[in-house]
């Protein structure tokens, strides 16, 4: 662990999630967008023009993650984004840890055009699993299982897989409890949504550049929440 930043109700750690998360204790919800495991080849002219796919490879964001980071002894519920091809492994694992779960989807009106002999990546699944007493919350009109929002260009925050604010805000609204931990914080989208909802946030990120971006974004969220 090389750095800790306290920004309002947010505590941010620069370091390895697999080392840091077990030391942090219990949170109402763990919300994570870990490394996907998928075929990131191809793309042709799109790949050359956009660059995000190459950045995903460079940062190892297409190599998958260790499922042990999902620990029901440390959270009341968990939200996990993943690639469609990871569902067959993740769902049985999560079903063995939590009594209830659901697969939800982020729908993208602007998916990347390359397919690699697959369907277009116009939806991304996320799993929400919970223990008794930690069920989803919200009004009837806010409990749909899909969110539609355009993908965010990587140039906005210098990260190739940033989740849009609208996606994370909707997810955070549907979570019970007052404390959120994101072991793979990236540029801080979960933290921005958590602070905006009045929740305590702890984030972990291993990449120093993305960590600095998260600090700036969350500092802005704290300032907005105070006004």
pLDDT band at 162 (very low <50, low <70, confident <90, very high): confident
**What is the model's pTM?**
0.92
Spatial CB neighbours of 226, under 8 Å, sequence gap ≥ 6: 8
What does the pLDDT read at residue 43? Answer: 65
Q: What is the pLDDT of residue 155?
A: 79
164 band by pLDDT with thresholds 50, 70 and 90? very high
CATH architecture of the domain 3-226 equals 3-Layer(aba) Sandwich (3.40)
The rounded mean pLDDT for the chain is 92
Say what the pLDDT of residue 156 is. 81
For every residue of 43-91, DSSP letters joined together read -HHHHHHH-HHHHHHHTTTTB---GGG--TTSEEEEEEE--GGGHHHHH
Alpha-carbon span 165 to 49, nearest angstrom: 25
pLDDT digits (tens, 9 = 90+) for 49-92: 666 777 767 877 678 899 999 999 999 999 999 999 999 999 99
pLDDT at site 12: 98
Query: Could you tell me if 40 and 56 are in contact, meaning their C-beta atoms sit under 8 angstroms apart?
Result: yes
Burial of 207: CB neighbours in 10 Å, binned 0-12, 13-18, 19+:
middle
Whole-number pLDDT of residue 200: 98
The values of phi and psi at residue 78, to 5°, are -145, 140
Confidence of residue 193 (pLDDT cuts 50, 70, 90): very high
DSSP tag of 37: B
What is the arithmetic mean of pLDDT over 150-164?
83
Range in 38-47, 93-102, 138-147, 165-174 with the lowest mean pLDDT: 38-47
pLDDT tens per residue across span 101-123: 999 999 999 887 777 888 988 99
């Amino acid at each position: 662990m090389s750095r800790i930043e306290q920004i309002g109700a947010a505590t941010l750690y620069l370091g390895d999630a697999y080392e840091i998360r077990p030391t942090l204790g219990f949170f109402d919800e763990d919300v994570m967008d870990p490394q996907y495991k998928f075929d990131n080849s191809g793309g042709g002219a799109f790949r050359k023009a956009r660059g995000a796919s190459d950045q995903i490879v460079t940062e190892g964001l297409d190599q998958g993650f260790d499922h042990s980071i999902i620990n029901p002894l440390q959270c009341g519920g968990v939200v996990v984004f993943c690639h469609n091809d990871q569902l067959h492994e993740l769902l049985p694992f999560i079903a063995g840890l939590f009594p209830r779960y659901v697969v939800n989807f982020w729908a993208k009106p602007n998916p990347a055009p390359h397919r690699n002999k697959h369907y277009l990546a116009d939806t991304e699944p996320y799993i929400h699993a919970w223990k008794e007493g930690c069920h989803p919350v919200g009004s009837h009109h806010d409990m749909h299982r899909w969110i539609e929002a355009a993908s965010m260009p990587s140039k906005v925050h210098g990260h190739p897989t940033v989740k849009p604010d609208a996606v994370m805000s909707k997810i955070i609204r549907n979570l019970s409890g007052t404390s959120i931990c994101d072991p793979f914080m990236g540029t801080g989208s979960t933290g921005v949504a958590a602070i905006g909802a009045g929740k305590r946030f702890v984030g972990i990120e291993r990449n120093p550049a993305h960590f600095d971006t998260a600090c700036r974004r969350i500092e802005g969220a704290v300032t907005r929440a105070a006004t």
